[in-house]
Structure 1
């Protein structure tokens, strides 16, 4: 089954130089009565002007992945970390029981464009921690790259059955979902920017996505496209009361 999620389902927020489009993936399946889908709580596509400060603020029981494609941001948090995040320097904030951070986009690196991804942990109240990973290249051309996940061969660790991969599929190239030895998988195929043809009848443009279960479609890039792939399990154990990843229906 393949369900297209277009941009009309998103919530937009703008405050000064800070603008986001928020996807609650569960809204495509109202029968679930959950704004998230299994462990995938919320995905924010952000566009933030240079010099914007997002002041110190709290998180609780969220696994927060910062994935940038343009711009840089200076990070500071309650665990004592200070670093600069970019399209080659990734960050995972496992908020756990209590966590605070602030971000400021750098003046010299242009408008920031990226995703802030809120994944649900298996249980509440875990120890807070922060992880960083330096990518050798900003883009993985025409092949899936492991970014964050439950397994040790993913550079950033998520504390639930969730896996995140990315790829830049170049114009005219064809791809498929990765082969995995994971049972009962569901895929959320997210187009960060670009234009993708899925099989013969579905087209996904910038910001759109598709929820895919029990199907392996063909993807062809109409133009060069940046893709983020989320993998979860329909019945994966998770805590859905996180500050941002939680189910808004509760």
Structure 2
């Protein structure tokens, strides 16, 4: 079963320097029917104005992933990490027992466009950590790349959550297929457009997937997707 959450159905918040679209309840947006899906708690699409960003603030007991689509983000946190993240890279932070961090747009001219993802952890109070890595999602299209998993296989990040994150760039006229471990998943269209089980989806659309063994993702025009395999 597929339940589609269209891009236009998301909550939109405009703070001037920040434009955000929330797939699930977040900050001032509360909808008891949209509290996440399985371990996926937050997936926000953010547009951050030049030289603006999220000042240092605290988190704990959450697995946080950042996927940059355009521009760059300057990250600093209390683990000592100070890095700049660009498209093609994924950032992972285990907030664990507590961490403070900032995420800023270092450009004076370019807007930062990113997906912010929170996963509910399966272990509490762990030591905070930060890591980032470049993956070949754009360099090797028509293939699902494993970005994060519980066992760090295939060079993916080790995360403390009952979830795996995969991503693919699907070229025009091509497709990819995924076999779910437990039958639950969430698909987020990051760019372009794709077709899933006969449903046409565009950038910003999300799909909750239940009791599906296999998912085929195809595209007539080209698209990029994030796929969560959820226990």
- The normalised TM-score by structure 1 is 0.82
1:92-124 Cα offsets, whole Å, 9 max, x none, are: 010012111112212267221121100000133
- The normalised TM-score by structure 2 is 0.88
Structure 1 runs, 4 residues or longer, greater than 4 Å off: 136-139
Match of 2:59 in 1: 59
1:11-52 Cα offsets, whole Å, 9 max, x none, are: 212223211111128xxxx7xx67122211110111112211
For residues 1-250 of structure 1, what are the structure 2 equivalents within 5 Å? 1-24=1-24, 35-107=35-107, 110-135=110-135, 138-153=138-153, 154-176=155-177, 178-179=178-179, 182=181, 184-200=182-198, 202-215=199-212, 216-233=214-231
Alignment size in residue pairs: 224
Q: What SS does the aligned partner of 1:107 have?
A: coil
1:37-69 Cα offsets, whole Å, 9 max, x none, are: 221111011111221132101112110001112
Distance in 2 of aligned mates of 1:186 and 1:179: 10
Distance in 2 of aligned mates of 1:57 and 1:37: 25
Q: Contact conserved, 1:72 with 1:109, CA < 8 A, in 2?
A: no
- Deviation at residue 139 of structure 1 after TM alignment: 4.5
Distance in 2 of aligned mates of 1:137 and 1:211: 22
Q: CA 1:139–1:212 in 2, change beyond 3 Å: closer, same or farther?
A: farther
Q: What SS does the aligned partner of 2:179 have?
A: coil
1:69-105 Cα offsets, whole Å, 9 max, x none, are: 2111111101111011111332101001211111221
Distance in 2 of aligned mates of 1:220 and 1:89: 23
Q: What SS does the aligned partner of 1:223 have?
A: coil
Q: What SS does the aligned partner of 2:220 have?
A: strand
- Deviation at residue 227 of structure 1 after TM alignment: 0.4
What 5-or-longer segments of structure 2 have no aligned partner? 26-31
C-alpha RMSD of matched pairs (Å): 2.2
Match of 1:242 in 2: none
What 5-or-longer segments of structure 1 have no aligned partner? 234-250
Distance in 2 of aligned mates of 1:18 and 1:175: 34
